[in-house]
Structure 1
């Protein structure tokens, strides 16, 4: 122990030495600060000196300019007397300015030297400090100061470099000025040489005078010189005697010092041996101390584990007591045999396993089905803000709301409440802290559920555009679901306890509220349900605050648990909380059932104010109780005896610290307690005002008209309408393709006919030449041939034009096909309903082109037939008359064949009319409620097909029976183009169907008459 005390004393001495060194360092640092201040003053003085130099230089330049002007004037004219005086004054000013410039340069050099000296001193200080740091390891704290000093030195060096630049510039200017003064210096040198010559002459004369004077003095003072020399000789003899005596004394001192040095060496060797032995003993004692410290740490760890085990056992005891109370209540409520209960639990567990396996199988194949359906959808379905995001958000909001409510239920099942809260729950276990934490989670989860239900209400009543804007933020919104999922994971892993953070959930709720306010604050939603959810949240917050008040009361010591000012304060808070809860229950009754609430800014501000007030009070009480709990555990670890609670002053200080942290302002204990009471009272008054306004029906308004379908269904209906439009365009393209094929076939047939007629014409010409007919027959044949050639040339030109028109029609058709393929792939961003009118116009124009091509083809065919008839008539007129046989040479004549072709076409018309009548029956059998836009599209398509059949019948009638009158049904034919949406009520649509039915009956009657005529 003595050695340890000696070591302690030595360590204290070292500590004192270090303190003295630190004081010296502080003195050096103060000197460095003073030097830095001096350096700054020097820099400032340098800046002022440079400014003065600039002013002097400016004045010199001005004087030089004035001098040049005056010299010019003197050269031009004679100089008056007053100008000469001014010139002299200017020269004097110039000399004064030069003198000031020289003095400033001298001062600048002095300052530079002083700065260099300061830098040298600073380097010395740095080296001394680094040596002290290397010598003593505990000087590591000054490294920051040294770094700061280095930075300041770097700044000073930068300033010095700037000063050097300025000095260099001034030197350059000075050299420039000195070059101007060289002439004056040369004159001065000449004068100086003359002066030196004169001075040498004067010095020679003075030397002669001094020699003569010395000769005179030597002659006069020789006696005095002898007396002076004798006195000095006596003085020197006295000094010699004193030096000899002092030499003897110093020799004796030298011998004595050698003896002392030998004795000191012996003592030093002995002290070294003693110090080595002492060092060995010190090392041994250090080893013993380290061993003892390790044993002490082991003992402390064992004691800590023992205390932790005791606290865990206390928690288990309290938990088992709570379970016993719960089980006793269950046994009192019902008496069930153990065997039946076990069998019931076993069967229930097995049923859960079976249902879980089935659910996993269903989930697997439902995911596979979803992937297949997703492959059939277009690419823009998965784009940002597309249909997929809208569907996900519509399903996401109620799902997350129900997840939050399920988490509230699971937390209540995991941590069941006890009817009677005791001090053991608060001080001896973590049950009280767990229950308070669960109430805080309930409040935040109810907030999250309320926000999600508001989102879900908006998605049912908003416009499709608002839903699309909200869908653009789908990733940000859906990412908040992970926060709730991680709490489910903690529950599964049995890791959810009082240490689980609630700040992430609170940040998630605040983010969702911000998104709702930014994007959907002006949208309509179910205000009654939203107000009910808000009141439910406020009630949960009040329950959280009330439980924390009970916890604070149970943290008091047993001797302070009676009636006092703190318990009365907490009882008053509990009374206000209970009154507020009853006010919330009363407010819920005033929410209208058959009307809605006008959710104005006043209502929103009132709800926000209530949330902030109750959140502030609940957080202060919760954090105060948490601080008391943590302080209790630390005191229990430090002390061997169990700590039962705190005094009243300590509890008030806990609340004071949390109030100051919340409001970020210092307050004394009474003001802090009054802050909590005032906040809770303000909450109660605001809640009563809201209840009074609801009771007076100030916020009520009539219910808005109910929407027939949600915006998501409107969006889906628009997509179905786009599909119908695409199908109609596809049908029109197919129809145009068929017409194009017919025209091409007719064109090829006409070309074949022309080529066959050419061949026949050549044969007839050869035959006539060979038969030797007269020339009067060949001449008209040649004329006819020329006419035929001219007509065929015209026909070829017209055919070429028809070919170009057909190519244009093909290009238009290909363009429409490409647009249709793009629409199939979903690459068109705008819906087809917007461009339907333009597409209808394009189709009408192409239809007119096809009709013109048909007419031109019919005209060319007619022209070719006429020419063929004229040619055959000319040929037949030159031949002898033939005798027609009584029988036809063949099984069927041409007339019979023509009649059979007409019958075949009529039969095809009959089958098509039967198909149309069947489709008419299907259209008329549809219910009025199911007659949507798709039904109207089908009706338009049906009418177009009927008009197409009428058109073909009309062409057949004009071809076969042009002399008879055409029926009324075949006269006016119009092809309807699909139009945009039309809003018709049920009565108007029923009348339209009746008219359609009447027209169909008339058409069917007309078809029967036409067919009877042909038959």
Structure 2
């Protein structure tokens, strides 16, 4: 068959070779015609238009020949490739035939067949040689054709050059013809010229006809081109319409696809809705079943009792009503207690509410037991919201609803809340025994403690709105626990605390973790395929049973250890025991987290498979392996249960040793009998002592103020008495002067000088007394400033409310100082009266020495009446204005500045105010004496 194929291919090649030869001959004929036309174009008499047409036709022929040449080259290359492929096929066929011949020769061992095959092989070789010769001949002819084409190209280029030369010669010939025409016109006659013109006209007409024929050809070609372009445009238009129609169809299909997708999504949402409703109905059915079981259990209890269910209902109703009454009364008392606290804060000093003060200390002290109580209350409320079912957890609770997940979540909350309860109760125990200075470090962090308490309050709000379910996070509780552990480790790590309570709370924390762990292992056991779990040799059930058995035994040991905690002695928490506790707590966290992650993955898998009754064992092993890797790190799948059993055994070993030590009393010590008051009570006692001291100081200030007021009253009364005595003295002296004559001026001047000397002496004594009093006042002010800086609970504004206006004039003096002041004031008043008397007399003598004024006694107009009415008010009205001004300034003098930098300015203004008061007092006494004299 290969030989037949080669012969057929050989015939095809020969046919194509003949076609190529005919094509080359046609090209040669066209080339010859082009040469002839070029030879004709070399005629000088040819017109320019003809030359252009010839050149255009030659150019067109050239391009056509080039295209044909390129097509021939491509065909030749294609044929060469086919020849190469056929040669390879021939070689392969030869090899195959030789192998077949060899096999047949081996089988038949016939020499005749070998000769026939050798003859066929020779014929094939001869045919192949002939075919190679033909191909070589075709290649040679193709090379000759290429060479001729190159010659044609060169000749075409030469023709272009000749055309350019002929065009130049034509221009020159035209110019010559024009010159010759002029000469001919001038030389020849008109007849000969007409003949020549006629001949040229005929020639031109022939050219015109030739041009018209060429134009017709071009018109035909143009029409053909127009028809082709019209056909192309029509086909393009049809294709565009087809494309638009297909685009419209595609858009319709897309719209249908979108509608279908919408329908699918709606159907999926409907299916999901029905599935959710189906699950909700299943959960409701389970809730009703669980409620029936609980009611049956209550009926059994009632039947075992007195059998009176109505009495139990009445008792529950009465209890509910009693709880309602108690809650309402408690709410009312709470409201008014808050009002009481607000009013108490108004009575307390300003430094009580500052940051880090007594208020923060008290809030921090109360926050620890309150947070612990809230944690315990939240645990109880969660148990009441999701109560256990009599008979325990069933398979449908795991596979068909979220009840098992809710119960496990309650245990998870209990574990986290018990950890928070343990650390907060430890802090409360420390706050009961520690010192005020240690507890003051926590008072600075009162805001952060309150923030964590608010996060805990959010869970109560979720419970109130019935929005707390298995998806509620416990991160806020864990974050609060970690925060309080850091606070205890940083600030209060060396303080004493109630170790018995701490050990009991820690054991309760472990027991909460054990309950959560056992519930999760039971969930994993029920989540497995029921048919596989019936097999006693099931590895999955073996692992879960091993972990459950160890945890149950550990729970028994924990109960035993809790019962062994002494009541009348203290438990010793050594460093080794504390480290072991931390290690065991870490192992418990790892165990609980691993089983929690596994149960979460199982629940998500079961939620996808709505009708599944369980997962296969191999899938459960994969889920457990992923959970173990998430907690313990990378581990082989076959060793997934190893870390879990190791942690469980470590916990069991610790509780075994711990319970034995507690039973033997190795961790006990006698209680130290020391009566320690809580730091809050100590701080309150200090504040009470400060308040009593401040009250004593205020009483002393009030006493001194009363004494100063009495002294001022006495001075005022003595001044009045001196005024009256002065009046009497003046009257008596007037009578004496009238009876015995006026005393000499020298005697009065001597007496005046003596009185003035006595006055200066008494003034110096009085100033010395004032300096001593000011020193005493300064000492008392320093004591008051020190008292205020030490944190006394009465501000300066409240103390000044009880201080009299004369507080700054006289301070705490003894009885002797008061007596001296009285004597000095008496002598000062006497000297002042004597001095004023002498001055008045001197003024009267001067006035009497003046000439008399003629003042009418009768009132003649309003000015006279006003002058008579206000005759003695000229001296009084300025004093009244000054007194009002000083009275207005008195309120400002009571306000002592808090800034120490303003103290000096305040003291200076206070001394100036005192000087003004004394000056006004002297002026009033003088005016009064003058009025009495007149």
TM-score of the two chains, using structure 2 as the length reference: 0.58
Choose which of 587, 590, 605 in structure 2 pairs with 1:616.
590
Distance across 2 between alignment mates of 1:435 and 1:518: 36
Is the 2:759–2:828 Cα contact (8 Å) retained in structure 1? no
Deviation at 1:440, TM superposition (A): 0.4
Is the 1:802–1:853 Cα contact (8 Å) retained in structure 2? no
Distance change (3 Å), C-alpha of 1:736 and 1:300: closer
Q: SS in structure 1 opposite 2:640?
A: helix
Alignment match, 1:281 = 249
Alignment match, 1:361 = 332
Alignment match, 2:414 = 442
Alignment match, 1:392 = 363
Is the 1:461–1:707 Cα contact (8 Å) retained in structure 2? no
Alignment match, 1:798 = 765
What do the CA deviations read for 1:180-203 (whole angstroms, capped 9, x no partner)?
xxxxxxxxxxxxxxxxxxxxxxxx
Counterparts of 1:859-1008 in structure 2, within 5 Å, are: none
Choose which of 800, 816, 824 in structure 2 pairs with 1:851.
816
Alignment match, 2:571 = 597
Distance across 2 between alignment mates of 1:305 and 1:766: 125
Distance across 2 between alignment mates of 1:428 and 1:662: 28
Alignment match, 2:635 = 667
1:488 aligns with 2:455: no
Distance across 2 between alignment mates of 1:241 and 1:485: 104
What do the CA deviations read for 1:464-495 (whole angstroms, capped 9, x no partner)?
12222212211111222222222222222222
Distance change (3 Å), C-alpha of 1:755 and 1:257: closer
Alignment match, 1:500 = 472
Bigger-Rg structure (1/2)? 2
Is the 2:719–2:829 Cα contact (8 Å) retained in structure 1? no
Distance across 2 between alignment mates of 1:781 and 1:254: 159
Deviation at 1:392, TM superposition (A): 2.2
Is the 2:351–2:791 Cα contact (8 Å) retained in structure 1? no
Deviation at 1:412, TM superposition (A): 1.5
**Count of residues in Structure 1 that have an aligned counterpart in Structure 2:** 610
TM-score of the two chains, using structure 1 as the length reference: 0.53
Deviation at 1:544, TM superposition (A): 0.9
Q: SS in structure 2 opposite 1:674?
A: helix
Distance across 1 between alignment mates of 2:226 and 2:731: 162
Unaligned runs of at least 5 residues, structure 1: 1-234, 637-641, 833-842, 866-1015
Distance across 1 between alignment mates of 2:239 and 2:750: 156
Alignment match, 2:656 = 688
1:372 aligns with 2:343: yes
Q: SS in structure 1 opposite 2:282?
A: helix
Distance change (3 Å), C-alpha of 1:253 and 1:643: farther
Alignment match, 1:649 = 618
Distance change (3 Å), C-alpha of 1:712 and 1:786: same
Distance across 2 between alignment mates of 1:746 and 1:810: 22
Counterparts of 1:490-569 in structure 2, within 5 Å, are: 490-561=462-533, 562-563=535-536, 564-569=538-543
Distance across 1 between alignment mates of 2:654 and 2:236: 90
Counterparts of 1:447-846 in structure 2, within 5 Å, are: 447-561=419-533, 562-563=535-536, 564-636=538-610, 642-663=611-632, 665-741=633-709, 743-744=711-712, 790-791=757-758, 793-806=760-773, 826=793
Is the 1:822–1:828 Cα contact (8 Å) retained in structure 2? no
Distance change (3 Å), C-alpha of 1:583 and 1:360: closer
Is the 2:302–2:308 Cα contact (8 Å) retained in structure 1? no
Is the 2:766–2:824 Cα contact (8 Å) retained in structure 1? no
Q: SS in structure 2 opposite 1:717?
A: helix
Deviation at 1:265, TM superposition (A): 4.4
Alignment match, 2:285 = 317
Is the 2:773–2:813 Cα contact (8 Å) retained in structure 1? no
Choose which of 236, 239, 257 in structure 1 pairs with 2:155.
239
Distance change (3 Å), C-alpha of 1:390 and 1:675: same
Deviation at 1:769, TM superposition (A): 7.5
Deviation at 1:703, TM superposition (A): 2.2
Deviation at 1:620, TM superposition (A): 0.3
Distance across 2 between alignment mates of 1:301 and 1:694: 61
Q: SS in structure 1 opposite 2:382?
A: helix
Distance across 2 between alignment mates of 1:809 and 1:495: 72
Distance change (3 Å), C-alpha of 1:571 and 1:780: same
Q: SS in structure 2 opposite 1:525?
A: coil
Distance across 1 between alignment mates of 2:238 and 2:828: 149
Is the 1:380–1:827 Cα contact (8 Å) retained in structure 2? no
Distance change (3 Å), C-alpha of 1:385 and 1:686: same
Distance across 2 between alignment mates of 1:501 and 1:326: 29
Counterparts of 1:262-341 in structure 2, within 5 Å, are: 264-335=232-303, 336-337=307-308, 339-341=310-312
Distance across 1 between alignment mates of 2:268 and 2:423: 51
Q: SS in structure 2 opposite 1:701?
A: strand
Distance across 1 between alignment mates of 2:473 and 2:674: 43
1:431 aligns with 2:403: yes
Counterparts of 1:39-118 in structure 2, within 5 Å, are: none
Distance across 1 between alignment mates of 2:735 and 2:435: 85
Alignment match, 1:407 = 378
Is the 2:430–2:495 Cα contact (8 Å) retained in structure 1? yes
What do the CA deviations read for 1:67-89 (whole angstroms, capped 9, x no partner)?
xxxxxxxxxxxxxxxxxxxxxxx
Distance across 1 between alignment mates of 2:644 and 2:478: 22
Distance across 1 between alignment mates of 2:514 and 2:693: 58
Deviation at 1:683, TM superposition (A): 2.5
Alignment match, 2:42 = none
Deviation at 1:289, TM superposition (A): 3.3
Deviation at 1:862, TM superposition (A): 11
Distance change (3 Å), C-alpha of 1:485 and 1:784: closer
Counterparts of 1:186-265 in structure 2, within 5 Å, are: 239=155, 264-265=232-233
Is the 1:451–1:513 Cα contact (8 Å) retained in structure 2? yes
Is the 1:379–1:825 Cα contact (8 Å) retained in structure 2? no
Distance across 2 between alignment mates of 1:864 and 1:399: 71
Distance across 2 between alignment mates of 1:759 and 1:373: 60
Distance across 2 between alignment mates of 1:769 and 1:584: 119
Distance change (3 Å), C-alpha of 1:793 and 1:275: closer
Deviation at 1:794, TM superposition (A): 2.6
More deviation, 364-373/270-279:
270-279
Q: SS in structure 1 opposite 2:480?
A: helix
